[in-house]
């Protein structure tokens, strides 16, 4: 008889935890707007340097307080390697790889994307406070992987 009670208790505990996890998932994805970066399109990695907007990487103001950063990852470097944006601005990163898989991570933010050759990745983030953020590749991309870094300067 006692074993049956323990089984019921663990079933209830499992059900409660499942409901709690579903609520946490809904709150973060719907209420807080946290989601996985989506696939924004496809591009030929061999001719990416001649295709808009990747033929002119950098920072563009697209509206009041809104910026777009076009970023290319290639063998052990970012183009551009230094990004400057004003504090309080909303920045949309549009990124792609020219050669192999790279991982884009901006320190102390939730910006974390995979850059797969032929795929365009997009992610938006609001930089509230001034400071410097390290921009690194978190996916091993070859012998010079440890050299692949840049920075985002929030002014």
Residues 48 and 91 grouped into a single domain: yes
Q: Which of 95, 101, 97 is nearest to 141 (CA)?
A: 101
Give the mean pLDDT of 36-40: 61
The pLDDT of residue 150: 96
Please state the rounded mean pLDDT for residues 108-114: 92
Backbone torsion region of residue 33, taken as left when φ is above 0, otherwise alpha when ψ lies between -120 and 50, otherwise beta: left
What pTM value is reported for the model? 0.74
My answer on whether 107 and 49 are in the same domain is: yes
Residue numbers of the domain that contains 16: 1-35
Same domain, yes or no, for 30 and 44?
no
If asked whether residues 12 and 67 sit together in one domain, one would say no
As for how many domains the chain has, the answer is 2
Interatomic CA distance for residues 86 and 134, integer angstroms? 16
Interval 79-103: pLDDT, tens:
999 999 999 999 999 999 999 999 9
User: How far is residue 96's CA from residue 111's CA, in Å, rounded to a whole number?
Assistant: 14
Q: What end-to-end distance do the CA atoms of the chain give, in Å?
A: 67
From the list 68, 109, 66, 108, the residue with the least C-alpha distance to 89 is: 66
Residues 5-28: tens digit of each pLDDT: 889 999 999 999 999 999 998 888
Residue with tokens 């579903």: 22
User: Do 17 and 58 lie in a common domain?
Assistant: no
């Amino acid at each position: 008889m006692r074993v049956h009670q323990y089984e019921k208790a663990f079933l209830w505990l499992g059900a409660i935890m499942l409901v709690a996890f579903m609520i946490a998932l809904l709150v973060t994805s719907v209420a807080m707007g946290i989601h996985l970066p989506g696939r924004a399109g496809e591009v030929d990695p061999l001719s990416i340097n001649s295709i808009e907007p990747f033929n002119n990487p950098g920072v563009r103001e697209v509206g009041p307080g809104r910026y777009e950063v076009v970023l290319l990852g290639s063998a052990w470097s970012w183009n551009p390697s230094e990004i400057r944006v004003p504090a309080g601005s909303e920045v949309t990163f549009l990124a792609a790889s020219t050669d192999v898989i790279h991982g884009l991570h901006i320190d102390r933010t939730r910006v974390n994307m995979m850059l797969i050759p032929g795929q365009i990745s997009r992610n938006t983030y609001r930089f509230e406070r001034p400071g410097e953020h390290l921009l690194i590749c978190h996916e091993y991309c070859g012998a010079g992987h440890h050299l692949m870094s840049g920075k985002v300067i929030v002014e």
